[in-house]
């Protein structure tokens, strides 16, 4: 029987929890040609939400493409990747060459078929004549105009998802934002979702002095209600003939910090352990046995990460775990955990956030990985 809990990838429909209101709003805004900004901390299920919205858009007759901005090491590589995804809307190579030649003929794109993991081959795009900064700027204008041209040529709506959008700021300074905003504001047949998992950077990109200020609606993804998540976990266990003990779903949600990735991971591993042991029911003792196994498997990695931190950062991370991330700058907390001055603690908190070990949730500092949180609580002093 297939494990009903999925993590580390875009989850299928059966493993998708809640988010009905967010999904409906996203689909409607994309269909209306809106430019939506989706802001979410890591592990909240942002990518799965966007994937479902694009699937819904396709079923409604729209074209749809998705590209992860942070996957690219240069501006030109990003533009080539973006063009390739748009070109993939035409699956036949001969038609794609003709179609793209008409749209980008003056840039003389090189279009070829390259092998991929499926063995069938995938279309690749490059622009070998692009060499100077002026060439790159001209290429960007043409590529960013492509979605509108494609929507007009195909007479169909188009939905474009640019994931990890905050990474675009690393390409060629702020000129990228200006060029992209100038293009998308005229594309009424194209809906965009600009999603990012670094809330501070995304919020900064929407500030008054930046090109995307008031460019479209902003969605800020919140945690799934704990009771709904717990009920989902229990129901998925029951659906696979494993009887969950009292409060099992709630315990998984609590241990995993109610982060969708971590909840699905812990439930997935518990399900595997229970199946391997031939269990008919699973309870809290089994959950903690699975947790101990996972901590043991991650021990070397967590220990290496711990050793890379300064002593001040280690003390601050441990205090964040033991104090539930609250009032870490207070005199009482600093004295209790021997943290030093408030400025030292603040510097450590900022460093831990940059290293993606901590995240801000309102006034709290939470450990991003719930397994790391448990490891720090059990294995450090």
Interhelix angle 370-379/284-308, nearest 10 degrees:
80
Name the CA radius of gyration of the chain, rounded: 24
Q: Is residue 310 part of a domain?
A: yes
- Is the Cβ–Cβ distance between 179 and 144 less than 8 Å? yes
Q: What is the pLDDT of residue 103?
A: 65
> Above 90 in pLDDT, residue 26?
yes
Q: What is the pLDDT of residue 351?
A: 96
Residues 144 and 63 in one domain: yes
Residues 161 and 249 in one domain: no
Residues 323 and 212 in one domain: no
> Above 80 in pLDDT, residue 306?
yes
Residues 207 and 288 in one domain: no
Q: Is residue 234 part of a domain?
A: yes
Residues 318 and 206 in one domain: no
The CATH number assigned to the domain holding 288 equals 1.10.10
Residues 119 and 231 in one domain: no
DSSP for residue 124:
E
Q: What is the pLDDT of residue 311?
A: 96
Query: Over the stretch 188-225, which tens digit does the pLDDT of each residue have?
Result: 999 999 999 888 889 999 999 999 999 999 999 988 99
What 3-state class would DSSP assign to 334?
A: helix
Residues 25 and 147 in one domain: yes
Q: Is residue 8 part of a domain?
A: no
- Is the Cβ–Cβ distance between 9 and 166 less than 8 Å? no
Instruction: Report pTM.
Output: 0.84
Residues 236 and 197 in one domain: no
Residues 162 and 39 in one domain: yes
The CATH number assigned to the domain holding 118 equals 3.40.50.300
Q: Which of 176, 192, 220 is the last residue of a domain?
A: 220
Q: Is residue 26 part of a domain?
A: yes
Residues 81 and 176 in one domain: yes
> Above 80 in pLDDT, residue 259?
yes
Residues 325 and 311 in one domain: yes
DSSP for residue 37:
E
Helix (H) or strand (E) holding 361: strand 358-361
Residue 314 main-chain phi, psi, to 5 deg: -60, -45
For the chain, what is the domain count? 2
List CB contacts of 275: < 8 A, sequence separation 6 or more.
1, 3, 242
Longest dimension (CA), the chain: 71
CA separation, residue 292 to residues 266, 281, 308, 375 (Å): 11, 19, 24, 9
Q: Which of 168, 187, 220 is the last residue of a domain?
A: 220
Query: Over the stretch 161-173, which tens digit does the pLDDT of each residue have?
Result: 999 999 998 887 6
Q: Is residue 301 part of a domain?
A: yes
Q: Is residue 2 part of a domain?
A: no
DSSP for residue 223:
P
- Is the Cβ–Cβ distance between 120 and 152 less than 8 Å? no
Interhelix angle 311-322/370-379, nearest 10 degrees:
100
Residue 172 and residue 129: Cα distance in Å, rounded?
A: 19
Residue 341: which domain range?
A: 226-379
Query: Quick one: tokens of 106?
Result: 């003056």
Average pLDDT over residues 364-381: 95
Q: Is residue 5 part of a domain?
A: no
pLDDT, averaged across the chain: 90
> CA end-to-end span of the chain, whole Å?
42
Q: Which residues pair with 163 in a beta bridge?
A: 68
Nearest to 122 by CA among 130, 111, 134, 131: 111
Lowest mean pLDDT among 99-108, 235-244, 265-274, 283-292: 99-108
> Above 90 in pLDDT, residue 126?
no
Residues 285 and 190 in one domain: no
- Is the Cβ–Cβ distance between 339 and 349 less than 8 Å? no
Q: Which of 191, 220, 249 is the last residue of a domain?
A: 220
List CB contacts of 321: < 8 A, sequence separation 6 or more.
367, 373, 376, 377
Q: Is residue 336 part of a domain?
A: yes
Band (pLDDT 50/70/90 cuts) for residue 324 is very high
Residue 191 main-chain phi, psi, to 5 deg: -95, 140
């Amino acid at each position: 029987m297939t494990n009903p809990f999925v993590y580390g990838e875009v989850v299928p429909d059966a493993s998708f929890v809640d988010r009905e209101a967010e999904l409906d709003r996203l689909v409607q805004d994309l269909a209306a040609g809106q430019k939506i900004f989706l802001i979410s901390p890591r592990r909240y299920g942002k990518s799965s939400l966007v994937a479902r919205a694009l699937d819904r858009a396709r079923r409604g007759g729209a074209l749809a493409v998705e590209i992860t901005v942070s996957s690219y090491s240069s501006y030109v590589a990003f533009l080539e990747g973006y063009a390739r995804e748009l070109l993939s809307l035409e699956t036949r190579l001969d038609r794609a060459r003709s179609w793209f030649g008409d749209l980008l003929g003056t840039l003389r794109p090189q279009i070829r078929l390259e092998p991929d993991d499926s063995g069938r081959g995938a279309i690749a795009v490059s622009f070998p004549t692009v060499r100077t900064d002026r060439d790159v700027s001209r290429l960007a204008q043409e590529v960013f105009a492509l979605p509108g041209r494609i929507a007009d040529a195909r007479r169909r709506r188009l939905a474009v998802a640019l994931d990890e959008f905050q990474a675009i700021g690393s390409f060629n300074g702020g000129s990228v934002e200006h060029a992209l905003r100038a293009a998308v504001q005229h594309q009424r047949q194209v809906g965009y979702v600009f999603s990012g998992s670094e809330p501070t950077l995304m919020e900064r990109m929407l500030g008054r002095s930046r090109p995307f200020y008031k460019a479209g609606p902003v969605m800020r993804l919140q945690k799934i209600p704990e009771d709904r998540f717990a009920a989902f976990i229990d129901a998925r266990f029951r659906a696979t003939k494993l009887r969950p003990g009292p409060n099992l779903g709630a315990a998984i949600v609590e241990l995993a910090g109610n982060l969708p990735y971590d909840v699905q991971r812990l439930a997935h591993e518990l399900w595997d352990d229970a199946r391997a042991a031939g269990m008919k029911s699973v309870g809290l003792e089994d959950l903690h046995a699975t947790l101990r196994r996972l901590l043991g498997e991650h021990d070397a990695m967590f220990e290496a990460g711990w050793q890379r931190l300064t002593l001040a950062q280690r003390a601050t991370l441990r205090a964040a775990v033991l104090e539930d991330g609250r009032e870490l700058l207070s005199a009482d907390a600093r004295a209790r955990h021997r943290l030093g001055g408030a400025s030292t603690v603040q510097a450590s908190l900022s460093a831990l956030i940059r290293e993606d070990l901590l995240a801000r949730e309102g006034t709290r500092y939470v450990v991003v990985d719930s397994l790391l949180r448990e490891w720090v609580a059990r294995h450090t002093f």
